[in-house]
Chains A and B, each alone.
Chain A
Amino acid sequence: MSLPPIKTMAEWLAEGKEPEVLFWIGCSGSFDQRAQRITRAFARILQKLEIPFGILGKEEMCTGDSVRRAGNEFLFQMMAYQNIQILNGYNIKKIVTACPHCFNTLKNEYPELGGNYEVIHHSVFLQQLIDSGQIRLQEGGIFKGKRITYHDSCYLGRANQIYDAPRKVLEALDVELVEMKRCRSKGSCCGAGGAQMFKEEETGKIRINIDRTQEALETQASIIAAACPFCNTMMSDGVKLAERESVVQVLDIAEIVESSLNFSE
């Protein structure tokens, strides 16, 4: 299913209008085939709810999260400078993103470089829409009663204290939410943060994503819910390596919500 056209900020500007919110896609959501599905799911939610939103399109650039944490402050500052120029140029006030790394950088690291925006992660955005009644979910939808475990993203949880929003979104679907042994502030990393996503792991006894996936599989959940494209990649790889991909799915909360939307009323 192709998406109805999405307007870029340049197109909004040409019409002399400003959308309510900018959807920041992030590099994973733009280029990674699995993460593109998350991007499309969230965009569809926005479209179905008729929330006016824009994207930067080809003008968006990497926020610099990974290069900064790898140690390349110069490159980070270059990316931040260019992004802030573009964001400020379009007079952006509110940003929503499905990537906790982009979220953290935009929210916490851009302000002192001159980029001040209200930045919201899509888990909080979705929770607000559910709370306000704008999102109505199917009663007895496809996820009802399903055993789901939520894997905390480090850059949502410990970094920004967002533990409840993604869980509340899942609870609204009437699922059986089960916790892993290490969860919330004790939640274990998937292994991708700090630019690990882009290099081989150091030598050890086991890969971090395999270790974490084992823990998720021990809950006997049929769905591992994530709210970060990096976590999604790492956990999906873990499930594949454990040869459990036929029985266990790794899904983003946006995908779960999108497939449970109720439009009958």
Chain B
Amino acid sequence: MTWISPLLFLIALGTGVFLFARRIQSILKMIRVGRPDLPSDQPIKRWAQMMRLALGQQKMFRNIPVALLHLIIYVGFIIINIEVLEIVLDGLTGAHRLFLNPLGTIYPLLINSFEWLALGVWVACVFFLVRRNILYIKRLRSNDLNGWPRTDANLILAIEIVLMSLFLLMNASDTLLQTRGIEPYATAYTGNFLISQYLHPLLSGWGDASLIFLERGCWWLHILGILAFLNYLPYSKHLHILFAFPNAYYAPLEPKGKMVNMPSIQQEVELAMNPAAVTTPSTEPPGRFGAKDVQDLGQKNLLDAFSCTECGRCSAACPAQHTGKLLSPRRIMMQTRDRMEDLNKLPPDQRTNDGKSLLHDYITVEELRACTTCQACVEECPVSINPLDIILQLRRYLVMEESNAPGEWTGMFGNVENNFAPWKFSPEDRDAWMRVDS
């Protein structure tokens, strides 16, 4: 009968990992719908950028107290995974605390540090729940988050609190069973741990059988919880813990002020201005000018959308949002992701013709018109997302494919084209500033 538990564990682990891998595959497929634009140049600079922004969380430290709490959760998450490795191996082999013998005296040190981190994660998550729901932080109360996104955020924090509680409760019952000489706990003797020992008074009245049941229950719920969370991850905003890395790697290395060039238009204009200069005119059929839907966006834009954790630092810094305009850079990212998910739910043959598009049906013209291209959203994003790039591509479509511009802009285009200045002044007066007295 000893094989039943490892078999059940193997099935749970296999299912969890399989479903996670399948979902990631599906997300990568959604991203590949975009124009291939992921850069492969300057790998050393890109690795350094990834280490600095994703691993080092440089942007988070613009707000130090929050950054430290976030760091505890992040480090806790990574380090406690060493413990998860033991749990997985225990589960597969039917052993109990497999790492105790090989590690000897280091083992209690290790578990003690995990317990400290678990407590830290627990406290940080409780604080973040309070901050999100009771304290008033504008970006966390914004209408952007109405409905599922708000629940999603609270659910993630709640799950982490539950997982950490299970871990501590499991250790508490284990060490209590050790002192009672119950096997296999007594053989794998570790002594009390720094944090979970304080839970002993809660459990001391419990009988041996109930304690064993509690310990096993916590063990199973902890690992099943982790597998479930792993699968929740790619359906939630929490995916940023993985995607922050490729997203920082692929983020532009150039100054933020540089707009992405459109070589097709460059060539067309060169050909029009000087037909002799272009020796090899492009044979490619001209694509769409700008972006109307997610297929027209770059793969980096779509990776951005899946990396967004909806923290709203972009929108808090956005001058348009700050002064009550409709534009919210966070919403641009959320709508882009929603559009991809909505398309993905359709049968493949309907995905190009569902009568909707990102522009107009998900993101309105008024939002796009409010942007001052100030790059505050790009500057603030801790995971290297660029909402501005999407806004500008949609603007290009509006102007070049729909001729949809406010009257003042149409006038400005005319002035620039005819008078070489955005105002209606004669080019003859361009040097008049020299002659006017100040």
A binds B: yes
**B325 partner, pick from A3, A30, A81, A203, beta carbons under 8 A:** A203
Contacting pair A75 B427 (CB below 8 A)? no
**A207: B residues at CB distance < 8 A:** 323
* Chain B interfacial residues counted at CB < 8 A: 70
Q: Is A170 on the interface with B (CB-CB < 8 A)?
A: no
The one of A6, A69, A158, A201 that contacts B259, using a Cβ cutoff of 8 Å: A69
- Residues on A with C-beta less than 8 A from B409 are 70, 195, 198-199
Quick check: B255 and A108 within 8 Å, CB to CB?
yes
Question: Looking at the complex, which of A36-44, A122-130, A134-142, A240-248 is the stretch in contact with chain B?
Answer: A36-44
Among B270, B373, B431, the residue within 8 A (CB) of A55 is: B431
Q: Does B35 contact A (CB under 8 A)?
A: no
Chain B residues in 8 Å Cβ range of A109: 258-259, 261
Nearest CB in chain A to that of B425: its residue: A31
Q: How many residues of A contact B (CB 8 A)?
A: 76
- CB B384 to nearest CB in A, in angstroms, measures 14
Question: Which residues of the partner chain A approach B324 to less than 8 Å between Cβ atoms?
Answer: 204-206
C-beta contact mask, A32-56 vs B, less than 8 Å → 1, else 0? 1100110110010000000000010
Interface presence of B250 (CB below 8 A): no
Nearest B residue to A196, CB-CB:
B372
Bound form: Cα–Cα A158–B373 in Å: 11
Whether A73 contacts B265 by the Cβ 8 Å rule is: yes
Residues of B within 8 A of A40 (CB): 433-434, 438
Q: Does B237 lie at the interface of the complex (its beta carbon under 8 Å from any beta carbon of A)?
A: no
Q: Which residue of the partner chain, among B62, B378, B423, B433, contacts A25 with CB atoms under 8 Å?
A: B433
Q: Residue-by-residue, is A1-15 near B (CB-CB < 8 Å gives 1, otherwise 0)?
A: 111011010000000
Cβ A211 vs Cβ B421 within 8 A: no
| Chain B nearest CB, measured from A66 CB (Å) | 6
Stretch at the interface among B72-80, B90-98, B363-371: B363-371
Contact B408 A200 (CB under 8 A): yes
Which residue from A3, A82, A154, A199 sits with its C-beta under 8 Å from B408?
Answer: A199
6 new A-B pairs (CB below 8 Å) besides A36-B432, A71-B397, A202-B326?
A36-B436, A66-B412, A198-B422, A199-B408, A204-B326, A211-B319
Can you report 9 A-B residue pairs in the complex whose CB atoms are below 8 A from each other? A36-B436, A57-B431, A104-B258, A158-B257, A158-B376, A160-B256, A199-B406, A204-B370, A206-B323
